Amino acid sequence: MCDIIWCKKDFEGKPCNTINYLDPYCFWNWEGTINCAECGAVYYIHMIQGKMYRGPEDRPGQKPDTSPLYADKPLDGYRFYGAGIEGRTRPFECLPRHIYLGVPDMVKFSIRGRPVRGHRPQPPSAGIAGSYGFDWDIEKLSPDLYEEYQQKIKNGEVSEW
Amino acid sequence: MAKDPRVTRIEDLPGPKSKQELEEMKMPYEEYCRAQFDPGNEFSKPQSLKGIRWLSTTMYIFTPHSVSNLAELGADVIKVEMPRMGDPMRHCAPFNETYLYPLHESRPMTGTGMGYLNANPNEYHISMDYHIDEMKEPFYALVRMSDGLTQCYRPGTFDRWKQSYRYLQEINPRFISVWGGGFGYGPKCFGGSYDILGQAHAGLASVTGMHEYMGGHCTKHSNWCIDWYSGTQITFGILAALHWREKTGLGTKIEFSQVQAATRCLGYAAPLYGRFGVVRQRWGNWDTQLCAHGIILCGKSEYPDAENPQDRLEARYAMISAFQDEDWKELCAITGMNDLYDKYKSLNERAEGEAQIEIYAALEKWAEDKSRGEVVKVCQDAGLLAEPVMNDREVYECEHYRERGTIRWMDDPIFGDVLQHGSYSAGLMSKTPRRLFWIWRPVGADNVKVYHELLGYPTSKIEEWYENAWL
C-alpha cells in the first residue's frame, strides 16, 4: 500500500492528471520535496509511519529532493512512467528497512558485527556468462567495507555470537 | 575375516581392539556422543553421497529442498535456473526486503531474498533456457552425466519439451526422474501447488489452530512447513531409488504430490472418520489424547522493558505437561486446583473436551499474575515437564543448540556472515555428517565450471549462448 500525489496542475493546456506513487520503501518516514513525473511540479510532503502528516503542498520553483517511484495516467489509458526514468522517477532500490522505524537501513554487518553482502551495488566480479568466483575478498573488492570492519574490530564491536 | 573360516581372530570379534578403543568404550555416554559427532568438525569427515550428481530444475522451497538434502550429504547438485531471473524464490521473501547481493551480473541492484536460504545450499548454479530446441543438446549432455533430475513443472510440461522420464531413460537408462508438484495425475492434475494450498487441501489447516468457539480459526503454519516436509519425503524416495538402482541397474520415475504428502501428517484423522464418521476438529495448543499437556498464556511479560515487541509482548506462553496421575496431582497442588483434582482424577476424565476447557482456563487464571519464566520455574521445581515457548532470539541464544551445533554462524564465501540453522538441524551423523559449504550462488555463477569444465563446450560457445540469453 502506498500514498499518492494526484497532480492536477495545468500542463500543456490541460490538467496534468498524473498519479505519482509514494512507495513505502522511500516515503514511510520522510519529509521533503518531490516532483511530479509528468509536469515536474514540486510538492512538499511530510509522512510519518506511512501516513501523510502534512502536504502535499505546492513548492513552485524549488528543487525536488526526490522523485516518485513510478507514476501513471489512468485517464490516458495505459500511459505510465516506470521506475528509473531520469528526471521523472526514481530507480527501485528496495532497501531493507529498520526493524522498528521503517527507515531505509542498508545492512552491511551481521548482528555480531561481521561483514555481510547485504548491500549494493556490488563490485563487478563476474566472469564469462555471469560466472562468479568462489570467494568474495572484501579487502580487494569492497575496501570501504573492509576499513569499516577493521574499525569495528578495533572498537571491540565484533563478537563470536 | 581370516582366510580359513575355522580360524577365530581377535580383530573379527566384537568389542575393543586396542587400549584406546577400550578407553573410548568406557567413556561416559555424554562424552562419547560429543567425541563421535564433534560439531564444527564435519568437514574432516567423508560425505556419504559423494559421487552422485543430481540436476535440479526446481523452484521455491518444496522441490528444491528435496535436492538440497542430497547436496548437504555430499552429492554434486547442479541447479539450473532461467537466465538472468533465476528461481522466483530469490525474489519473494520475506516481505521482499532482506536481500543478499548480487543476483546476477546484469542486475547489480537486485539481490536474493532470505527465503532462498536452506533450499539450495552447496549447489552449483547455472542458467539455461532448457525449453528451447537450441539448448536441448547441453541439457541432454547433462542428463547423460547425471544420476537424476528433480523438476516441478506442471504435469506433462517436461514431456512436451521431450525431457520427461520416458525420453530421458532412452538417453540414460539409469536415470532417476522426479516430478514434484501440487496434485499429480488425477482429476486435479493441472492444479499448481504452494505450501498453503498443500496444508489447506490435505485437511491439515482445518485441524490446526484453536476451535472456532474458542475464538480460533483454521490456521496455516507461518513457515512453509509442508514444503520442507514434502521435500524431505521426496529425498527418501530418491535414496530408495538409488538403492534400487544399485540392485537392478535401472532408473525410476518418482511422482510426488504435495497435497498427498500433507495428508500423512494427519495421523488418525482418516481412520477416525472411517470408523466412526467423526470429522477431526481443531484442538490448538492442547492435546486430544493427554491432559494437562499443552501451552498456556501467562499474564505477565517475560521482558517488559524489551525494545523488540516480539520479546516485550509475545514472550508469554509456556508449555506444561502433567498428564500422568502423580504429575497431575502435583500440578493441582502447586496451582491450588484441588477441586479440579477431585473432579478429574483419571486421565480419561481429564482428556474429555469439556474437562480440558475447564482445566486450561483454571491454569491460565493461575498464571494470570505470573510471567512465563515464573510458571516454568514453579513447575520444574515441582518435577514437572515445562518449557517456555521460545522465540527465534531465544533459540539463537540457547546453549543446547549452540553446543550441538544446531545453530551456528558461517562465513559464506560470497555472502559473508550468515546465521545458519537449516543444514545442521536435520540430525547428527557420526561418520558422514551433513555440512554446509555455501548458502547459494548467484544466477549462472557456475556456467563456465559446468558448460566448459564438465561438458567441454568452448567458452566462445558459452558466450554465444549468453549473448542470446539462452544462458
Distance CA B16, CA B14 (A): 7
pLDDT reading at B10 higher than 80? no
Are A127 and B448 a contacting pair at CB < 8 A?
Answer: yes
Q: Give which of B156, B144, B190, B60 is closest to B455, Cα–Cα.
A: B144
Long-range contact pairs involving A11-16 (C-beta distance under 8 Å, separation at least 24) = A11/A38, A11/A39, A16/A41
pLDDT at B264 over 60: yes
A68 within 8 A of A34, measured Cβ to Cβ = yes
Task: Check CB contact of B307 with chain A, cutoff 8 Å.
Answer: yes
Decide if pLDDT at A98 tops 90. Answer: no
B97 chain-A contacts, CB cut-off 8 A: 94-97
Chain A residue nearest residue B126, CA to CA: A131
- Number of helices (H) and strands (E) in chain B: give both, helices first: 20, 13
Q: Is the pLDDT of residue B52 over 90?
A: yes
Q: What's the rounded Cα separation, in Å, for the pair B187 and B185?
A: 7
Question: Which amino acid is present at B208?
Answer: T
Closest residue by Cα to residue B463 from A126, A132, A128, A125: A128
Tell me the chain B residues in contact with residue A121 when contact means C-beta distances shorter than 8 Å.
Answer: 101, 108-109
Average pLDDT, chain B: 93
Residue A99: per-residue pLDDT:
65
Q: Are B251 and B173 in contact (CB under 8 A)?
A: yes
* For range A116-143, the mean pLDDT: 86
Predicted confidence band of residue B315 (pLDDT cuts 50, 70, 90): very high
How many angstroms separate the CA of residue B53 from the nearest CA in chain A? 20
* Per-residue DSSP letter, A122: P
Q: Which residues contact B66 (CB under 8 A, 6 or more apart)?
A: B58, B150, B178, B180, B231, B232, B233, B234, B235, B238, B256
Cα–Cα distance measured from residue B411 to residue B168, given in angstroms and rounded to the nearest whole number: 38
Chain B residues 250-279 with a CB less than 8 Å from chain A: none
Q: Nearest residue on chain B to A125, judged by CA atoms?
A: B105
pLDDT digits (tens, 9 = 90+) for B122-160: 999 999 999 999 999 999 999 999 999 999 999 999 999
pLDDT of amino acid B241: 98
Q: How confident is the model at residue A23 (pLDDT cuts 50, 70, 90)?
A: confident
Cα diameter, chain B: 84
Asked whether residue B332 carries a pLDDT value surpassing 80, the answer given is: yes
What pLDDT does residue A103 have? 67
For residues B65-93, give the mean pLDDT. Answer: 94
Q: What are phi and psi of B284, to 5 degrees?
A: 50, -125
The whole-number pLDDT of residue B80 equals: 98
pLDDT digits (tens, 9 = 90+) for B361-409: 999 999 999 999 999 999 999 999 999 999 999 999 999 999 999 999 9
- Among A76, A69, A75, smallest CA distance to A35 is for A69
User: Measuring CA to CA, which residue among A71, A98, A101, A97 is closest to residue A83?
Assistant: A71
Mean pLDDT of the region A25-47: 93
**Which of B50, B103, B98 is closest to B77 using CA atoms?**
B50
- Shortest CA distance to A45 belongs to which of A17, A11, A18, A21? A21
Cell of B398: 540457547
The per-residue pLDDT for B95 is: 66
pLDDT at A25 over 80: no
Burial class (CB in 10 A: 0-12, 13-18, 19+), A69: buried
> Is residue A1 over pLDDT 60?
no
Q: Which of B91-105, B276-290, B436-450 has the lowest mean pLDDT?
A: B91-105
* Beta bridge pairs of residue B297: B317
Quick check: A120 and B99 CB within 8 A? yes
Report, as an integer, the average pLDDT of B188-195. 85
Handedness of CA B228, B230, B233, B237 (dihedral sign): negative
CB contact under 8 A, A161 and B409: yes
Q: Quick one: which of B350, B206, B375, B215 has its CA closest to B295?
A: B375
- Where is average pLDDT lowest: A26-30, B150-154, B297-301, B326-330? A26-30
Cross-chain Cβ contact B100/A136 below 8 Å: no
Q: B88 touching A, CB under 8 A?
A: no
Q: Bin B344: left if φ > 0, else alpha if -120 < ψ < 50, else beta.
A: beta
pLDDT value for A26: 82
Coil, strand or helix at B10: helix
Dist CA B442 CA B102 (whole Å): 6
Q: Any idea what DSSP says for residue B451?
A: I
Tell me the domains of chain B and their CATH numbers: 1-28 (no CATH), 53-264+421-467 (3.40.50.10540), 293-397 (3.30.1540.10)
A-chain residue closest to B307, CA distance:
A100
Q: What's the pLDDT band for B447 if we cut at 50, 70, 90?
A: very high
Q: What band does B326 get if pLDDT is binned at 50, 70 and 90?
A: very high
Report the gap between the CA of B103 and the closest CA in chain A (Å). Answer: 10
C-alpha cell at B148: 537424476
Point out the least confidently predicted range of B95-99, B101-105, B184-188. Answer: B95-99
Q: Over the stretch A53-94, which tens digit does the pLDDT of each residue have?
A: 998 999 999 999 999 999 999 888 878 898 888 999 988 766
Q: State the pLDDT confidence band at A110, using cuts at 50, 70 and 90.
A: very high
Instruction: Nearest by CB to A131, from B101, B409, B446: name it.
Output: B446
Cα–Cα distance for residue pair A50/A103, rounded to 1 Å: 11
**β-strand B148-151 against B53-57: which pairing, if any?**
parallel
What is the ipTM for the molecules in this complex?
Answer: 0.86
Contact B471 A129 (CB under 8 A): yes
Nearest CA in chain A to B437: A134
The answer to whether B468 contacts chain A (CB < 8 Å) is no
Higher-confidence residue of B2 and B30: namely B30
CB neighbours (10 Å) of residue A159? 9
Please count the other Cβ atoms lying within 10 Å of the Cβ belonging to residue B24.
14
pLDDT in tens, B203-242: 999 999 998 888 899 999 989 999 999 999 999 999 999 9
Highest-confidence segment of B1-10, B182-191, B350-359: B350-359
d(CA B227, CA A51): 37
